[in-house]
Structure 1
C-alpha cells in the first residue's frame, strides 16, 4: 500500500496532510477521495483514479526542530488505519530541505500535477504548505484550479467545545484520559508490538506478563496501569479479543531503569513469544508507584485485575 513517488499508481485523488492519529477529523478530509464518493462524471472522464493519502516523513515539526517526535500512528500503523477506511495507497514524501524550500506553486506543479497526476485534492481548512508555510488552503485551491484540479477544503471538526486534533489527543493521553482520547480518535488508542523475552518476574508472583516491543517512535500515554483489550492471533485463543491489565512504566518496585510495556491476560495462559499483540487501552486504573515489597505489589496487581475484570468496557 505504501508507495514512493516514482511507484505511485496514477491518476490519483489525493488527501494531503500529516494525518498523525488518523482521527475523526482526518476521516472527514479523507472521505471525499474514496472510490465510493468519486464523482461519476469525473470517473468517466479520467478512468480509474486511486484514493491516495499523501503525507510527510519525517513529520515537518521533527525536521524543523531537529527533535524526535513521538507519533500516535507510526507509518505501519497509519497504513493499516488508512486501509481500513478504504484508502488504496499511502505516499510518504521525504520532508527535506529541498521539499521545504518549494514555493506553493512549485509544490503543486512538481508534486501534485507532474508526479501524482492528481484529479482531485482534499485538505483541512488549516492546511499550510510550501516555503515558510506560506501557502494556505485557499491558495492551494486557486493554484490547483489553474490545472483543472478540484480542491475540497474541509472545515475543522470539533468534539463538544474542543477541536479534534493530534495535539488534543496527545494531551488526553498524557493525562491518562484514554476515554477522551478514544472520543477524539473514534477508536481506542492502540499499542502494537511483538512479544519479547523479559525478566520473567511476573510469573514468580503469579501474574505472568507479555513484554511488548513497541516502535521507539510510538507515543506512550501517562505511565501507569491500564485495563485493556488484547488482540492476538494465537491459535489457542478462545477469543480474538481478551481482557487484560497493562503496565506502562519503569517498574520502580524492582528498580527498573527503562520504560517498558507489559500486559497480563486475565484468566489465560500460554506461550506468546514472537507474536504481535495489539493493546486497546480502555481505562487508566492508577499511576505507577513503588511498593515496599513484592507482596504489596502482588496484592495491588490482584486488585488491578479485579477492577479490569469488572469493567463493562
Structure 2
C-alpha cells in the first residue's frame, strides 16, 4: 500500500474510493472499505481510501479526543483490508473550508473514481453540509458508481466509534472485539524492564493522543515484529501524574531476556479484563496476587485460545 499526504496529488489511473473518518475502523467502517476493495477487483482498478490523519473534532477543540486508531494503526488495517492507495492528509483550514461540491470536485480531479463508497452518516465539506445523498447525486451524474453502506448493528444498536470508545473506556474488551471485529490494541514503546513475580516484565510508554482502556489488569497479546506472545498487562496512572498513564506487561513464556526489547515497538491486544487495580500490604501479598493473575490468564487462554496453547 502506498500512502500520500498531499490531497492535491493526481493519481495516474482510476480508483475505487472509500471515504470516511474511520476512527476505530470498526466493522461498519470495514464494510465501507470492503465495498471499494471488491469494486476495484470487479472494475480492474486500484482500491483507495481518502481520510484525514486526525479527526475534525480535534482540529476545532483544545481538549483533544483520544484516537481509537492512530495513523499507523489505520495504515496497518487498511493494508490488511487490501487497499492499494491511502490518501491521508493533515487537516487544514483550506481543506475544511471547501464546500461540499468543491470537496467532491477535488476528489473527482485527483482520484478519477470509477466507484465511491461511504457510510450512511458520512458528512463532508464546510459546515458538514455534504451528505451521502449529495455525494450520490454528484457522482452518479458523472457516471461513477456509488455505494452508500447502511448501518451495521449489534444487539439492536448501530455500531459507531462512540460505542467502541465506551466499551474500551469501560474495560469491556469482549464488547470492543465484537464491535471492531478484532481485539482492540494500542501501540507502545518498551522503555525499561523489571521483575514482578516470576514473569519478566517490560515497561512501556503509550503513544500520546491514543485512547487507553481503563486502569486495571488485562490478559493481552504482545505483537513484536512478526511474532506474538500472551501477556498480563497492567494499565496504571503514574504516581507523579494525574494524566499520564503507562503499561507494564509480563510476558508468558518469552524465550529471551526482556531487556532485548528495550527500544522496540510493541502492539498490545487487549483480550480479557482480569481485575481492577489493587493496593497490597506486603511484597508477599503482591506476589500471591500476581501468581493468581497468571493462573487465571493461562486458564482463559486454554479455554478460549486452544489453537495457541501455552
- Displacement of 1:84 in angstroms is 0.6
Deviations 1:273-297 (A, max 9, x none): 2332222211101112332333322
Partner of 1:121: 116
Provide the rounded CA distance (Å) in 2 between the counterparts of 1:37 and 1:131: 29
Equivalent residues, number? 294
Aligned position for 1:241: 228
Q: Does 1:3 align with 2:7?
A: no
SS at 2:51 equivalent: strand
User: Paired residue for 2:287?
Assistant: 298
1:1-313 to structure 2, matched below 5 A, reads 1-4=2-5, 5=7, 6=9, 8=11, 10-34=13-37, 36-38=38-40, 40=42, 42-43=43-44, 49-109=45-105, 111-197=106-192, 200=194, 203=195, 205-233=197-225, 240-250=227-237, 255=239, 257=241, 258-268=244-254, 269-270=256-257, 271-311=260-300, 312-313=303-304
Q: Give 5+ residue unaligned stretches, structure 1.
A: 44-48, 235-239
Would you say the 8 A contact 1:8–1:91 is kept in 2? no
Once residues 204 and 128 of structure 1 are traced to their aligned partners in structure 2, the CA distance between those partners, rounded to angstroms, is 49
Pairwise CA distance, 1:8: 4.7
Query: What TM-score results when the alignment is normalised by the length of structure 1?
Result: 0.87
Extract unaligned runs of 5+ from structure 2: 305-310
Q: 1:39 to 1:276 in 2, by over 3 A?
A: closer
| CA displacement 1:168-218 (0-9 Å, x = unmatched) | 0110111111000000000111122232125x3xx1654431122332122
- CA deviations on 1:41-88 (whole Å, 9 max, x unpaired) are x44xxxxx3211110133111112233221111111110111111011
**Length-normalised TM-score, structure 2:** 0.88
1:76-114, Cα deviation, whole Å (9 max, x unpaired): 1110111111011211133222222211111111x2111
Shift in Å, 1:300:
1.4
2:164 counterpart SS class: helix
Gap change, CA 1:303 and 1:139, over 3 Å in 2? same
| 1: CA distance, partners of 2:163 / 2:182 | 15
Residue number in structure 1 paired with 2:307: none
Change (3 A) 1:39 1:85: closer
- How far off is 1:164 after superposition? 1.2
SS in 2 for 1:197: strand
Counterpart Cα distance in 1 of 2:138 and 2:62: 31
Change (3 A) 1:294 1:10: farther
Runs of 4+ in 1 over 6 A off after TM superposition: none
Structure 2: distance between partners of 1:204 and 1:133: 51
